[in-house]
């Protein structure tokens, strides 16, 4: 079945640094990927929709200059948290929809970011 890989699974960084999270579709091509954020004991909140070859669409309240999304190929989308602050600490999850088949999303295992 479809597999989505996220890397790194855990990252700890100092305040002010930037962190890049990769989301790869391993055995299928994904024209669209979605980035979610999950706070402890809360639901997944959609951050942005990443479209291959075009600019990402950000949800209201999500700073596009802070959360840079690049979807340069059909198998890779990256989320860069720029100038990270402790409040950016969270669980970031990507999901991808295959170019072939039904409208089912496959999720990555998530990346836990801790900003010190």
Partner 1 sequence: AQRVTQPEKLLSVFKGAPVELKCNYSYSGSPELFWYVQYSRQRLQLLLRHISRESIKGFTADLNKGETSFHLKKPFAQEEDSAMYYCALRGDSGNTPLVFGKGTRLSVIA
> Would you tell me which residues interact with partner 1 (CB under 8 A)?
31-32, 34, 36, 42-46, 49, 51, 93, 95, 97, 103-110
Chain-centroid distance of CA 62 in Å reads 13
Residue among 36 and 84 whose Cβ is closer to partner 1: 36
**Which CB, 15 or 27, lies closer to partner 1?**
27
In the complex, the smallest distance separating the C-beta of residue 81 from partner 1, rounded to whole angstroms, is 20
Of the two residues 13 and 46, which places its CB atom closer to partner 1 in the complex? 46
Measured CA to CA in angstroms, residue 21 lies from 85, 100, 102, 103 at distances of 16, 25, 26, 24
Distance, CA of 71 to CA of 50 (rounded, Å): 6
Q: How far is the CB of 60 from partner 1 (least distance, A)?
A: 11
Nearest C-alpha neighbor of 97 from the set 51, 50, 33? 33
């Amino acid at each position: 079945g479809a597999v989505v890989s996220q890397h790194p699974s855990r990252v700890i960084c100092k305040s002010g640094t930037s962190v890049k999270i990769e989301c790869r579709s391993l055995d299928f091509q994904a024209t669209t990927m979605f980035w979610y954020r999950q706070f402890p004991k809360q639901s997944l909140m959609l951050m942005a929709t990443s479209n291959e070859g075009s600019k990402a669409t950000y949800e209201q309240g999500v700073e596009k200059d802070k959360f840079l999304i690049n979807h340069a190929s059909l198998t890779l989308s990256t989320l860069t948290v720029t100038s990270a602050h402790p409040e950016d600490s969270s669980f970031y999850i990507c999901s991808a929809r295959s170019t072939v088949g039904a409208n089912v999303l496959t999720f990555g295992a998530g990346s836990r970011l801790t900003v010190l």
